[in-house]
Amino acid sequence: MRADEYIQLEDQYGAHNYKPLDVVLSRGSGVWVWDVDGNQYMDCLSAYSAVNQGHCHPRILSAMQTQAERLTLTSRAFRNDQLGLLYRELCDLTRSHKVLPMNSGAEAVETAIKAVRKWGYLVRGVPENKAEIIVCADNFHGRTITIISFSTDPTSTTDFGPFTPGFRVIPYGDAQALADAITDNTVAFLVEPIQGEAGVIIPPDGYLRKVRRICDDAGIALILDEIQTGLGRTGKLLAEEHEGIEADLTLIGKALSGGFYPVSAVLSNTEILGVLKPGEHGSTFGGNPLACAVARAALRVLVDEGLIGNAARMGDHFLSRLREIENPDIREVRGKGLLLAVEFHPEAGGARQYCERLRQAGLLCKETHHDIIRFAPPLVITRDQVDWAVDRAAPILSA
């Protein structure tokens, strides 16, 4: 079948809740993907950072094949011989005490919300149904009703009400706003270390350290959503390490499977997850042996292949080369590790046109919001590949 025939099928039978670039991919390896016509592209999105380890990583593939032939799903009604091992390896790596496995990122966020609410009632003595969670403007934490209830993006919320109460929104990057918003009923602050979907918004230096102190002083839980920033993307295993802090709850997903399978987890450094008792929360697929085997391999690849340090080095190089591009329409080039963005002035006509032209040049990028292009290639990228990408992108981005 031709590309336009696949596109026509999607348009005819699928809900139109995405507006993808019209490239129909059929194969991937490392930083590269190929479309049905055999054209090769560098993937500069990495499925929103889910394929940090590169497409179809052979070690993760092999772990998946081996486990799929053995045992795929038991439900948590029974135990399996992969879950405990994933728990231990995750806790060792992240210095956490407890893990709760789910599937999608949104489910990890929902799990954290349930856990801190219950902790607030049982441990903090917040009156029944009064628990409040503070969140930030322009957040992205997923697509469920409860999560969009505290979104400030009208595209995410319009016509989807009624919404879940119990959330208070403050500006991002403003520690004083957090201190001012805390009440006796506040149980947690939920925040992204860098706002990925908002356009790679990096808070001021010291923000997370201040936030950590404020949460400690008030006795509320700090929940870091590292679903996009975690697992090496910013040049550290977790982005919290840039500021030398530890969250009470850390949410990871996406690259936890290297893109093979939906796997997410809530990591807890305190006893917050301990408030959940049998029967109170769960998921049919959460913690299944196939997911656990894949996640174990995906974590090993990140560490054994030095992908975290590579993300730091290649990110620095990518950023400095992007900053050499001269174009008065560019408002800012920013990034941490391999989570990079080029932001255009609002008058420049939008980032989509650039993404279309980058695609012609063999680079797959996606605009975020109207004016921002995110560059987030797999962490296996080499220096030559970074140069290849910028050599192709520079003439387009400077025109």
Ligand X SMILES: *Cc1c(COP(=O)(O)O)cnc(C)c1O
Instruction: Tell me which residues touch ligand X (CB under 6 A).
Output: 48, 104-106, 109, 140-142, 192, 196-197, 225, 227-228, 253
Would you list the DSSP string of 263-308?
-EEEEESSSGGGG--TTSS--SSTT-HHHHHHHHHHHHHHHHTTHH
Element spanning 48, H or E: helix 46-49
- 157: tokens are 């919320």
Nearer to ligand X, 186 or 195 (CB): 195
Nearer to ligand X, 294 or 397 (CB): 294
Instruction: Find the length of the chain.
Output: 399
Shortest Å, Cβ 58 to ligand X:
24
Catalytic residue selected from 174, 225, 248, 371? 225
Residues pairing with 80 in the sheet: none
Shortest Å, Cβ 365 to ligand X:
17
Nearer to ligand X, 172 or 393 (CB): 172
User: Shortest Cβ contact with ligand X: which residue?
Assistant: 105
Nearest to residue 306, comparing CAs of 252, 244, 249, 382?
382
Shortest Å, Cβ 199 to ligand X:
12
- Is 118 an active-site residue? no
Shortest Å, Cβ 217 to ligand X:
26
Cα-Cα-Cα-Cα torsion 321, 322, 325, 327, nearest 10 degrees, comes to -170
Distance, first Cα to last Cα, the chain: 35
What whole-number distance in Å separates Cα of residue 141 and Cα of residue 232? 19
Nearer to ligand X, 104 or 268 (CB): 104
- Is 236 an active-site residue? no
Catalytic residue selected from 98, 118, 140, 336? 140
- Is 254 an active-site residue? yes
Nearer to ligand X, 142 or 203 (CB): 142
Catalytic residue selected from 118, 254, 336, 366? 254
Query: Do the beta carbons of residue 60 and residue 298 sit within 8 Å?
Result: yes
Query: Do the beta carbons of residue 117 and residue 281 sit within 8 Å?
Result: no
Query: Do the beta carbons of residue 256 and residue 282 sit within 8 Å?
Result: no
Shortest Å, Cβ 108 to ligand X:
8
Hey, which residues are catalytic here?
140, 225, 254
